[in-house]
Each structure stands twice: as structure tokens, then as C-alpha cells.
Chain A
Amino acid sequence: MSEKPPLAWKLQIRSPGVLPGFGPALGFTLLYLGLIVLIPLAGVFMKTAGMAWDDFLGKAFSPRALAAYRLSFGGALIAATINALAGVLVAWVLVRYRFPGKKVVEAAVDLPFALPTAVAGIALTAIYAPNGWIGSLLAPLGLKVAFTPLGVVVAMVFVGLPFVVRTVEPVLRDFETEVEEAAHSLGAGRGQIFWRVILPGILPAMLTGYALAFARALGEYGSVIFIAGNMPGVSEIAPLLIIIQLEQYDYAGATAIASVMLVAAFLLLILINSLQAWRRSRHEA
């Protein structure tokens, strides 16, 4: 009995905080998270687990599905690379230079987050179609964008555009200019300073933005399907294939492809989280 008071005291120390409402707030959070997100998502894997292994492999890695993964992953890789290069350029110009209309440009970078994907899809198609503003300029050169895999990349560049700009911009803004001055006083040229001093500094942010843009492009549906042409095996992305299987009531086929895409998305999420941890550790060092 004499042990009781210190024990209770210990428990109080271990309680998560002094403010009221922890229990109900956490309880509601977990309940809502479970009902809206976790239980429905778990359904995909439950359905997959109910399939025979050969059946799953046949559906998840059929030639048509493999072609769709190739386009989704390949297109996302190319688009994220374009976004990484252009994103650093845009961030550099927005942080370092002054020009008229800069505030508007600064706000406009987020347009792909705000513009509904279906609207972006039909607008890009109108521009890049053979009779569109840019499509008609490219047609004489024998270059077709809309209704080809190239169109898929264009739409993916659009949806992924803000990520690298928004991750690199704050790092570039906080960049210690003294380091650049030191490099200069040691005889480095502008190009050398960029490659040897600035680029290593923004690299973690750039890679985080790259991974975010890749993940977004990989799952993108709305802006891609209008411009893609959607030819099976040629310009058919994996999310579209899921919808086609669903429309044919092939739930197992749709689920098999979805589980492959979900695993890829989770791996990317882990990668992005570790990139962000790396960034923080660099920032604090």
C-alpha cells in the first residue's frame, strides 16, 4: 500500500499532457481515420489476399498491364525529371531575380494544385491537338503530342510542376550567401559556385520534390486520359486500366493492378519521408 502514491505520481508524469480532451480527440481521430481511410484501403489487400497466387500474377502482370505500368512509370520518370530541372530554374529566378509581375508568377506556380484535373486535361488537349495552338506548329515537323505517349508526359509535367519549385524555393531563400562569397573569394567562378556549392545545398530538397512529382504523376488520371488517346498497350496508363477492368465488372483484375500501384505508392511514401528526414538532419547540422 505504501508503494501506491509514487506509482500514481509516475503515471501522472507519463500522461501525455495537462490539457483536457486528449482521449476524445484521439479517439475521434482514430475512429474517423479508420472508417474513411484505413478500413477501405485494407479492402484492396483483403481482396488481393483472397485471390490464388497464379491468378493474381496473371491479372497483375498481364501483357496489357505491363505495358500500362511501363507507360505510367516511364512517363512519370520523364515528367519528374523535366520538373526537377525546370523547377530549380523557376525557383532560382523567383528567389534571386526581380522582374515585373513576379508576385503573379509566384502565385501562379500553384495553379496545377488548384485547377481541377479534368479542366487541365481538356485544356492541354485543345492546345496540343493537331489543330491546336501548339499542335499545329508541331504537326509540320512530324511531331504528334496529343493522343500519343508524349501527351501523357505533357499532362504529367503539368500536374507535377509545383512540387520541385515549392520544395527548393525556401531552401534557396535561406541559403547562406556567405558560403557563396567565400567560394568566390577562393577563386571560384559563377558556374563552379553553382555546381559545387549551391547544387549540393539544394539537392535534398530537389530530390524530395522530384519524388513528390513522380508519385503524383504515377497516380494521375484526370488530366492524362483526355490527352493520352488511351490505346491499349500504347497510350493506356495503369489507373485507366483499373477503371476499364471495373467497367467490365472484373473486380479481381482491377484490384490486382491497384494493389501493385498501392505498393509502389507506399514505397514512394517511405522514400519521401526518409528524404525529408535527411533534409531536416542537414538543416540542423
Chain B
Amino acid sequence: MTSLNIFPQSPADIRPVLTDPPWARTLLTGMALAFLGLFLFLPLVAVFGEALAKGLGAYVSAIVEPDALAAVRLTLLAAAIAVPLNLVFGVAAAWAIAKFRFPGRGLLISLIELPFSVSPVISGLIYVLMFGAQGWLAPVTQSLGLQILFAVPGIVLATLFVTFPFVARELIPLMEEQGTDEEQAAMMLGASGWRILFWITLPNVRWGLLYGVLLCNARAMGEFGAVSVVSGHIRGLTNTMPLHVEILYNEYNFAAAFAVASLLAGLALVTLAAKSALEWRMGCHGASTH
């Protein structure tokens, strides 16, 4: 076939049977793009448009304002704790589940994905029930003098919960696909477990690992519902960026709210671009449905 490459490559072009008439192509493409334009493109434009509505000066001052900067710092801090912890968990879980066979594997995978099906509000509520005024762990934390709720530890816990599955769910199928041949060969040659992990397994799954970390980080920085329940909304202290957006918005300070929101939208765009680049690298498409 390749020696006679006079046809265009698309199967639809080679087989005229599969081609829709031009009017149908135009109509369907138009409808799809109109739907996506309405629901994806327009909101994105609105964020940047509203952010700059009062001029560049107002935009910059909304971002360098102390409470906004404190929110940025807290968001970065929560992500800097939650993402590495879930990364270590993801690697450990994938090692146990993908490289070994044991009863209950399927159940364990379902349990790891559980946080995706829980409403963000409930993800916050569970920590209120543990550490709140009537919580069953409240006596312990009080006697230790620990403040969990309405403080940074609560925000980190809620972030950990909602971003829990991201790295594991990328690594498990990938490591399973790669089998254990290379690891067994390394073991025969006398490599230790850690050496096998760091020199063979992790380099083999590095793009998938990065992909999981990327999605984990985007969710960690953008989480709203779960963090909202546990944060207490103390300005400059327990406000993450999404919570700061909410406070500004509820104060009718729209330009400032959208200015901070535009930073998060920028993060989303960078995430999407990096995600596309990684998908191209890994040679797979749309692997993730969360």
C-alpha cells in the first residue's frame, strides 16, 4: 500500500462510503464547535475580559494585595505538601498492585478511586466530623494542642483526599502493561529493590508519572468545595486562591475576583498545554476520564 501512496491518508478519503456529504460535515462540525464555544471558550474569555475590565492597574493591584498574596502562598503550600505525599502513595500502590498478583486487587483499585465519586463538600465534611467541636478525634487533638480545622492542616488533609487517586490511577495500568521482565533481570544481576525502583521502574513510567502529578497539582491548587468546608475563611490566614476568589466575588469586588481567578485560569491553560504535550509523548490519547 505504501508504495502506491497516491491516496490521502484518512480512511474516510480512501473509502468514499464512509464520507458524510459536505453539508452534513459542515453542519455537524458547526454544531459541535458552537457547543464547545458556548461552554468552554466563552467562560475563558469572560474570566480574562472581566479581570481587565477596570484596567491593568486595578488588575495588578488586586494580585499584589497582601491577602491575595497570602492566598497564593497557602495554595502553593497545600499543593507542595499534598502532591509529593500522593506521589509517594501512588508509586507504592502501583508497585504493589501492578507488579504482584493477590486476592482483593480489584477491590483495592476501586477503593483508591473512591474519592473521585465523593462530593467535594462531603470530602470536607468527613474531616469536620473527625476534628470539629463534637468530633471523635477532637479530645486527642485538643490535648495535644493541635489546631486541625480552620487551619492549614485541615486544608492539607482535604486537599490530600480530593487528589488522592490521581498518580496511582495513571501508574497502575502503565506499570502493569510493562510487566516485570526488566525488574526480574535486574534482580538476577543483584540489584536491590530500591535500585530496581529508581533505575528501572520509575524511568520506564516517567511520562505517565509526570502526567499524574500534573493533574494532581491542578486539582490541588483549584479545589474549592472540600477546602471551603474546612478552612473557616479567615482572610490572610486560611484562604486559598479559589476561596479568595469567592470572598471578593461575594463582596461585589468583581474585577479583583476575576483578576485572582485569571491566575487560576492561566494555571489551567498551562496544565492543558503540558497535558497535550505529554499525551503526544506517551503516544496515547485521552487516557484520563477525570
A-to-B contact residues, CB < 8 Å: 16-22, 24-26, 28-29, 32-33, 36-38, 40-41, 43-44, 46-47, 86, 89-90, 92-94, 96-99, 103, 105-120, 122-124, 126-127, 132-134, 157-158, 161-163, 165-167, 169-170, 173, 177, 180-181, 184-185, 190, 209, 212, 215, 218-222, 226, 239-240, 242-243, 246, 249, 251, 254-255, 258, 261-262, 265-266, 268-269, 273
Contact = CB atoms under 8 A, between A and B. Distances in A.
Interface in B36-50: 36, 38-44, 46-47, 50
**In the complex, which of the residues B20, B40, B115 has the most CB atoms of chain A within 10 Å of its own CB atom?**
B40
Contact of A269 (B117, B184, B241, B276): B117
B62 interface: no
B89 A32 contact: yes
A19 B119 contact: no
A186 to B, nearest CB: 12
B114 A116 contact: no
B17 A222 contact: no
B111 A105 contact: no
B42 A133 contact: yes
B120 interface: yes
Interface in B14-68: 15, 17-18, 20-21, 24-25, 28-29, 31-33, 35-36, 38-44, 46-47, 50
B35 A262 contact: no
A254 B125 contact: yes
Contact of B110 (A94, A123, A133, A269): A269
A29 B112 CA distance: 9
B100 A166 contact: no
Interface string B183-201: 1100100001100110000
B249 A122 contact: yes
A201 to B, nearest CB: 14
B158 to A, nearest CB: 10
B225 A239 contact: yes
Contacts of B157: 36
Interface string B250-290: 00001001100100110111011101100000000110111
B129 interface: yes
B40 A29 contact: no
Query: Interface residue tally of chain B, by bracket?
Result: 35 or more
A38 to B, nearest CB: 7
A106 B224 CA distance: 26
A273 B224 CA distance: 27
Contacts of A261: 119, 122
Contact of B18 (A89, A118, A181, A240): A181
A20 B193 contact: yes
Shortest beta-carbon contacts, A-B, top 7: A219-B119, A116-B222, A222-B224, A221-B225, A123-B43, A20-B193, A16-B100
B95 interface: yes
A67 B93 CA distance: 41
A239 B39 contact: no
Please classify the interface of chain B as helix (H, G, I), strand (E, B), loop, or mixed, using the class held by over half of its residues: helix
Interface of B: 10-12, 15, 17-18, 20-21, 24-25, 28-29, 31-33, 35-36, 38-44, 46-47, 50, 89, 92-93, 95-97, 99-102, 108, 110-112, 114-115, 117-122, 125-130, 132-134, 136, 157, 160-161, 164, 180, 183-184, 187, 192-193, 196-197, 215, 218, 221-225, 228-229, 241-243, 245-246, 249, 254, 257-258, 261, 264-265, 267-269, 271-273, 275-276, 285-286, 288-290
Contacts of A273: 110
A109 B245 contact: no
B264 A116 contact: yes
A40 B126 CA distance: 5
**In the complex, which of the residues A43, A47, A118 has the most CB atoms of chain B within 10 Å of its own CB atom?**
A118
A90 B30 CA distance: 10
